[in-house]
Structure 1
Amino acid sequence: MSTRSDTLPRAAGALLGAVAATGLATQYCRHRRVLRGHGEEEVWETSAGNLLSYRLTEAHPPGSRKPPGAPVLVCEPGMVSTAAHWSWLRRAFRAECAVLSYDRAGYGRSRRRDRNDFTLASAVADLAELVRGVCADRQVILVGHSLGGYLALRALDPLQGLVTAAVLLDPSHPEEFARSASQARGAEVLTSQLALLPLSVRLGLGWMLPAPSWVNWLPEDERSLADDQYRDWKLWSAGAREWRTTEREFRSGAHRLPPLTVPVGLVAAGRTHERDAAHAGLHAEIVAAAPQGELLVIDGVEHDELLLSAPACDQIAQFIRTFTAPCERDRHERTGEGSDDCAEEADDA
């Protein structure tokens, strides 16, 4: 009879222990890099105690084509995304107007210290406080992607008097689960994925995530940090928290589109509309509910490509210029400011 040997189990256990230790050490170093960010971000503390990391980039003279007091472009990110996702759009407007991008509480360098349960209303409150605190009395144009598009619409009320227009990029709709079978099925898949990812990444397994192809679409100086954020536990923990709340609030049936009091432009991913006619209908409904609305569908792109693909962002930037030009002219007439046309394009950088 052969004698059982414990050598192999012990060796396998030691190997797994070494892999786990290496993963945790890698996670620690990655997390430190995420908390450092680019090093040029500033922090705004909200009344709830949240610390929001943001960048406000002013237009670079002498190439600026917009008059003093031109609206600030305020970027509201989607779920499981950070300010890095706005890199191409921020660059597209760097010679034209100020751009404010930030990480919602819990993402990137931002910290969530609010002791109350997270709600979409609390995210909107953070956004409104950041805009009023950082932009003061300057006019703003809200630009939101995915869930950020819906949050931007919710922010119209607390920011009334400051917002001249809103531009939504493939925005979420509070009735999408009830009216789109495709969105309802996707919600079930996302719920399953986010049930496991935060803990797995927290245990040091972030390095095992497949390399996201979209990181290489970003400007080169944004890629390293974006990859670190993608593999950091904070991103997935914040995303899971936001998703649980979003799904609960949307499925409750208690939410409808808020009153749209400013012009609303909507840019949709062509692939989204091709696969889901119901969602296309929801987008059309948003445009129709605005006092002035316009819809642009960018053919051949997916939901995330709208922001992460440089060519798609170029189309979005041009849409923002042309759509908001009448708003700028109206503002100039009301305030007596210069008559520069906000549709005038910036010099190529």
Structure 2
Amino acid sequence: MTGRHDAVPRVAGGLLAGAVLAGLVTQAMRHRRVVRGRGDESLFETGRRNILAYRLTEPQDSVPSDTPVLVFESAMVSTAEHWSWVRRSLGQQFPTLIYSRAGYGRSEFHSTEPFTLESAVRDLEELVRHVCGHRPVVLVGHSLGGYLALRSAESMRDLIRGLVLIDPSHPGELLRSSAQAKGAEQVTFGLVLMPQSTRLGLGGLLPEPSWVRLLPGDQQDLCNDQYRDEKLWTAAKREWRATHREFLNYDGNLPEFGVPVRLIAADRTHVTDKTASDLHGEIVAAATQGDMRVIERAKHDEILLNEELASQVSRLIHDFMHNLDGRHSAAKEVS
């Protein structure tokens, strides 16, 4: 009996070690798939040595040379694949540029500089100027990506013709919204655990997030791998620290942007946080020409990931682009 009792810890320890090893092997294979990406991305190295993976697509039918390129800027904890429904809809009529910020997906973070949100803005500007040249662009940003789009408007004023902000972050939200401040505590706690857990090979223990099955079928496996991989959470932790620091030091002044703006809000954001409606209204009011459209029964993330909701977003962007084109044509006639 003694021998049998002594064997139990050894067997249990061996099983645990085997499970950990299996987790690490699975994690390594998953990581290789994330780094490999879709395989059709182009790569661009920024001045900070970051490598950005991007895809530029052109409509099959020819469009006027001055048709703006739609440039998509993702939320935190998001990759280019999260724009799949919107890009598929709008890519038939407009040039589109999607990419993942440094550290997400196939993109790599190599900068030795302390990371700030301005660093992300400079990466975006370099990518846009490299890929689009002198072509006009319309920036489309979701959540934190919406705020980064706002930040980019001033430095790219020679290229940017308009902004579409989808449930965007406002730099004053942590100071003025108790709901956002409480949420920030949860985000901070989660981003302490997730990078380390996935680094230890525990990503496979995470349940598949429900939103993955909302995406097109050919995107689901890659997004599931990204969600369980250390890269995504390390990048998110880096961005959250910079965002948290900058938003807590907000001086009350929004970035300058002298272009038309369409803000597309998820109604659940406004219902659950009344302050969010006021903050979004401030962004619209700061624009030279701006409006806000609210999509009913939409949540902050599902507004892009749900095909039906994303189609509503696409129609609002399409409408904005055509109105923008009319204003541009009128301006050329006057000049």
TM-score range, shorter chain: over 0.9
Q: Name 2:292's counterpart in structure 1.
A: 295
What's the counterpart of residue 203 of structure 1?
Answer: 200
Partner of 1:285: 282
Identity of aligned residues (%): 52
2:45 is equivalent to residue 45 of structure 1: yes
Indicate the residue corresponding to 1:55 in structure 2: 55
Corresponding residue number in structure 2 for 1:221: 218
2:255 is paired with a residue whose SS is: coil
Unmatched runs of 5 consecutive residues or more in structure 2: none
- Partner in structure 2 of residue 79 of structure 1: 76
Q: How does 1:160-239 map to 2 (within 5 A)?
A: 160-239=157-236
The alignment status of 1:113 with 2:106, answered yes or no, reads no
Q: Distance in 2 between matches of 1:271 and 1:169?
A: 13
User: Partners in 2 of 1:217 and 1:256 — Cα distance?
Assistant: 37
Query: How far off its partner does 1:322 sit?
Result: 1.5
Equivalent-residue separation in structure 1 for 2:85 and 2:173 (angstroms): 28
User: Which residues in structure 2 correspond to 1:3-14 (within 5 Å)?
Assistant: 5-14=5-14
Aligned twin of 2:314: 317
Looking at structure 1, the residues matched to 242 and 317 of structure 2 have their Cα atoms a distance apart, in angstroms, of 30
Displacement after TM superposition at 1:224 (Å): 1.0
Looking at secondary structure, tell me which structure has more helix per residue.
2
In structure 2, how many angstroms separate the alpha carbons of the residues matched to 1:44 and 1:291?
33
SS at match of 1:6: helix
Q: Is the 8 A contact 2:141 2:165 kept in 1?
A: yes
Whole-angstrom CA distance in 2 between matches of 1:330 and 1:254: 33
Deviation at 1:290, TM superposition (A): 0.5
SS in structure 1 of the partner of residue 49 of structure 2: coil
How far is 1:335 from its partner? 5.3
RMSD: 1.6
Conserved in 2, the CA contact under 8 Å of 1:175 and 1:256?
no
Distance in 1 (alpha carbons) for counterparts of 2:244 and 2:11:
45
Going from structure 1 to structure 2, the CA distance change for 1:304 and 1:252 (only over 3 Å counts) comes to same
Q: Do the aligned partners of 2:173 and 2:276 also contact (CA within 8 Å) in 1?
A: yes
Q: Which residue of 2 aligns with 1:130?
A: 127
Aligned pairs for 1:238-317 (under 5 A) are 238-254=235-251, 256-317=253-314
State TM-score, norm by structure 2: 0.96
Structure 1 unaligned regions, length at least 5: 337-349
Deviation at 1:106, TM superposition (A): 0.5
**Aligned-partner Cα distance in 2 for 1:15–1:255:** 56
Does the 8 Å CA contact 2:90/2:318 hold for their aligned counterparts?
no
With over 3 angstroms needed to count, the CA separation of the structure-2 counterparts of 1:3 and 1:318, relative to structure 1, is closer
Runs of 4+ in 1 over 3 A off after TM superposition: 1-4, 332-336
CA distance in 1, matches of 2:122, 2:252: 17
